[in-house]
Structure 1
Amino acid sequence: MWTHASWQGRFLSSRLPAGERLRSYAGWCNAVEGNTTFYATPSRGTVESWARQTYPDFRFVLKLPKPITHERRLTGVEQDLHPFLDAIEPLGPRVHALWVQLPGSFGPLDLALLSGFLRGLPRAHRYAVEVRHRAFFEDERSARLLEKVLAEANAEWVPFDTTFFFAQPPTTDAEREGWARKPRMPRRVRALTDRPVVRYMGRDDAEATAGSWGPWVDTVTAWLREGRSPTFFLHTPGNREAPALARRFHDEVRARLPELEPLPEPPADEEPLTLF
C-alpha cells in the first residue's frame, strides 16, 4: 500500500523507482498494511529491500497469503506458511503483527480451526485476526467465544470500521465501487492485547472523513493512556489523500497527548503538499 499512482510526486518521490518508494512512504507514516502478501509471497530479496528502506521501529502488519486463510481455511497450510515466514524474516522486529484476515463465510462453527491454527504458529510473531462473519458482531456468545480463542493465543481482534463509509450513498466512482466490494462492518472498540490494530474506512471527501473519526480519536487516546501501542490504518475509497489524513489523525491524538512521539518528517525533496 505504498505505490498508488496518485501519490507519485506528492507523497512518493518521483525520482525513485517503484521498488524504492517505500522509503518515501516511511517519511509520511510509520506503519503499513501488507496487502500484497495476500496475493503472493514476496521473494526474500524484495523483503530485504523493505528492511533497507525503513527504520527498525517501522511497523509492518502483513496479511497471510490467500491460500492459507481463504483456500485451505487454516488447515494443511504448512507448504504455504513456512515459505512465507522464511521470506519475511529479514524484517525482524519491523513485523508488528501477522494479519489473519478470514473470509465472511468463516463463522462461529469454525472457531476450533482458528484455535488450532493459532496454537501451531511460532511465538516469534504477534497475530491479529480480522473476521467478517456477522455473528461475531451480532451474537454476544459468538463474540465471547472468539475473544476466548484469541486471548489464549495473545492475538488481537482487528476491527474494520466501515460505518461512516456506508452511512450515506456513494457520490464518486471509487465510492460506488467500494459499496459493491467492501463489507458492511459495525464499529468495535474493545482491545484484547497491548497492540490493538484498527482499520477505518472514510469517504473521498477528506473533510467529511476527518469529521467522522472523533470516536476513534477518543479510543486511541484512551488506549495510549492505558499503556497500549495501537496501530490505526486509515483508508478512503481512492486513497488519494490517505497519508495526509493519517498524519492529521495522528496530530489530533497528539494534541491530547503531547508526549506522543511525532510522525517522521516527510522527505525534504518532495513537492509541496496541498492537503485539501
Structure 2
Amino acid sequence: MALHVGCAMWSLKAWQSRFAPGDKLRAYAEWCNAVEGNTTFYAVPSRATVTTWAEQTGPDFRLLPKIPKRITHELRLTGTDEDLRVFLDAIEPLGPRAAALWIQLPGSFGPADLAVLARFLRDLPTDFRYAVEVRHPDFFTDPRRLEELLAQHRAEWVPFDTTAFFATPPTSDAERDAWMKKPRMPRRDTALTDRPIVRYLGRDDPARTVAGWQPWVETVAGWLREGRSPTVFVHTPDNADAPALARLFHDEVRAKVPGLPALPVPVPPEPTTLF
C-alpha cells in the first residue's frame, strides 16, 4: 500500500526558506515522494541531467516524465519514431522512478483522433507504464471509447480536476492569471489501473484548497483499500504552499487508512549565521 504525493515542479523560490540547502530535487524529495515531469514536455534533457535526477532520489520516488510536446502537440503522435527514441534514451537512467510516461494531449485532440492514439499506444515499448491526459470536452461526455482503448494498453487516464478553482471568481493576481490559462476540467474519479494519477488545482487560500479536495480524500482512501497505489499532485495558482499541502493531503488520507505509512519528516533547513 502506497500513496505518492507531489507538486508540479521541484523548485520554486517561495520554497527556499523551507527546504534544506543543496540539490533542489534532493531537498524536494525530503518533502514529497512524487513530482510531475513537466520539464521534459518542453525539451528533452541530456542523459547526464537525468542521471543526476536519479542520484538525488530514492528508487521508490515517482517522477512522471511528460512525453515532449514536439511529439504530442506538434506531430500529434504521427511520424514520431526518432523523437520518441531520443526521449526514451534520455530518461532511461530514471529506472523505476519513471512510474509512467505521461502523454498530455492538446485540447483539439478529440474522439475523432482515437485511431491515432491507438496506433501510438500500440507501437510504444512495453517496458513502461503510460498515462494519458485529454482535454477535449467530448471525452468526458462519453468516456467509454477512450476508457476501452486505455484499458487495452494498461494505461491510466489522468484527470485534471479544476472544479474547486473555477467554483468562484479569482481573488489574487496569481488566481487571475490561472483563471485565464488553466483548462476548465470536470472531476473524474474512475481508476483504470492499479496506479491511478490525479492532478488537483486548488486556490491560493490553503483552507479553500483543503475544502475543495475533500472528495479526493475519500476517493483515494477507497483506492488504497482496493489495493491500488495512487499518485496525487496538488497545484495552487501560486504553488507557494504546494509541498506542505501535498503532505497534508497524505495525512488526511492516512487518517482514513491507518495502515498507510507516514511520509518521512523533512530535513530542516540549516539556520543562517553571521559567521
Q: TM-score range by the shorter chain?
A: over 0.9
**Mapping for residues 8-157 of structure 1, pairs under 5 Å:** 8-10=16-18, 12-13=19-20, 15-16=21-22, 20-138=23-141, 140=142, 143-157=143-157
SS at match of 2:99: strand
* Structure 2 letter corresponding to 1:202: G
- SS class of match (1:88): helix
Highest relative contact order (Cα 8 Å, sep 6+), 1 or 2? Answer: 2
The alpha carbon displacement at 1:264 in A equals 2.0
How far residue 209 of structure 1 moved from its aligned partner, in angstroms, is: 0.6
- Normalised to the residue count of structure 2, the TM-score between the two structures is 0.94
| Aligned sequence identity (%) | 66
- C-alpha RMSD of the superposition: 1.1
Any unmatched runs of 5+ in structure 2?
Answer: 1-8
Residue 3 of structure 1: how far off its partner (Å): 1.2
Normalised TM-score (structure 1): 0.94
Letter in 1 for 2:38: N
Deviation at 1:112, TM superposition (A): 0.3
User: How does 1:115-264 map onto structure 2 within 5 Å?
Assistant: 115-138=118-141, 140=142, 143-264=143-264
Equivalent pairs counted in the alignment come to: 264
SS at structure 1 position matched to 2:254: helix
5+ residue gaps in structure 1? 272-276
Q: CA deviation at 1:265?
A: 1.6
Q: How far does the alpha carbon of each residue in 1:221-274 deviate from its partner, in whole angstroms, 9 at most, with x for none?
A: 000000000000000000000000000000000011111011122013356xxx
Pair 1:79–1:180, CA change in 2 (3 A) = same
Deviation per residue, 1:2-60 (Å, 9 max, x gap)? 111111121x33x32xxx21000000000000101000001111110001100110001
Q: 2-side partners of 1:71 and 1:124: how far apart?
A: 25
Secondary structure at the aligned position of 2:100 is classed as strand
- Conserved in 2, the CA contact under 8 Å of 1:9 and 1:270? no
The residue type paired with residue 124 of structure 2 is L
- Tell me if structure 2 keeps the 8 A contact 1:159–1:189: yes
* Distance (Å, rounded) in 2 between the aligned partners of 1:174 and 1:120: 40
2:10 is aligned with 1:7? no
Q: Which amino acid aligns with 2:133?
A: E
